[in-house]
A and B are shown apart, each in its own frame.
Chain A
Amino acid sequence: MTAVNLVYFAWVRERIGKGEETLDLPESVITAGDLLAHLKTLGEEYEGALEHENVIRVAINQEHVDHREPIAGAREIALFPPMTGG
């Protein structure tokens, strides 16, 4: 098990019901995409927040990454919707 800090923003944060948490991840979680799939097994709030996996953006240590990116060594992983700043 590896502990990782997760942070959520905008409607992902609202639907999960918290802005951050530290979770122990099973060894089978290798990529960002694996993480999304794993989180969806943790309860209906996660399932609702991450229902449309392809629109969820992932940042590892505050840099955008693809869902195929390995998460090994990540200090902080952020999940959020497409950005609407500017």
Chain B
Amino acid sequence: MSGLPVVVRVQRDDFDLAHEVQALSAGRHDIGAIVTFSGLCRDEAGTLSALELEHYPGMAEAEITRICNEAVQRFGLQAVTAIHRYGTIASGENIVLVCAASPHRQAAFDGANFIMDFLKTSAPFWKKEHAADGSERDWVSAKDADDSARDRWTKE
């Protein structure tokens, strides 16, 4: 295999899951499992019309790359693609994609899980809500549950 196994993109545009999986495994015969995670903007029972995703250009890419490289080392992943969108994302649209490839399924499941847990708590992105009725809404608060999900990877 040539080149680095990690592809990271931070972009305004949408992505295509099928295309990314195909690109990840194109020309390879050593991959046995690919796990994909897609994060979408949900409408919170019709009350939310969109999310505004702010990010720290440069650091966002660097931090996701660092997390993916750590997952490659820790779980022996063969390839990783991580894409995170920014800007205005309407309910029903994609926000984030993680594809993790490995020879056997468990590493791919764990790797994708690990990447998402760290991405949520340490990649510099912030969500602001747009209410469906046009009223002003606030920034989404960080959740303790996300910290707990991250911390389980450092407990033995």
CB-CB contacts of A59-86 with B at 8 A, as 1s and 0s?
1001110000000000000101111111
Chain A residues 1 to 43 lying within 8 A of chain B, measured CB to CB, are 7, 9-11
Asked if B91 is at the interface of the complex by the 8 Å CB criterion, the answer is no
- For residue B121, CB closer than 8 A to chain A, the reply is yes
Residues of A bordering B, CB below 8 Å: 7, 9-11, 59, 62-64, 78, 80-86
Considering the complex, which residues of chain B in the window 23-43 have a beta carbon less than 8 Å from any beta carbon of chain A?
Answer: 39
> In this complex, what residue of B is CB-closest to A7?
B56
By a CB distance below 8 angstroms, the chain A residues around B63 are 64
Q: Are the C-beta atoms of B56 and A80 separated by less than 8 Å?
A: yes
- Count residues of B near A (Cβ-Cβ below 8 Å): 29
A80 touches B126 (CB 8 A): yes
From residue A8, how far is it (CB to closest CB) to chain B in Å? 10
Can you list 8 contacts pairing A with B, beta carbon distance less than 8 Å?
Answer: A9-B54, A63-B59, A78-B56, A78-B59, A82-B142, A83-B126, A84-B127, A85-B126
Question: B53 at the A/B interface (Cβ < 8 Å)?
Answer: yes
Contacts of B79 in A (CB 8 A): none
CA distance A63 to B116 in the complex (A): 19
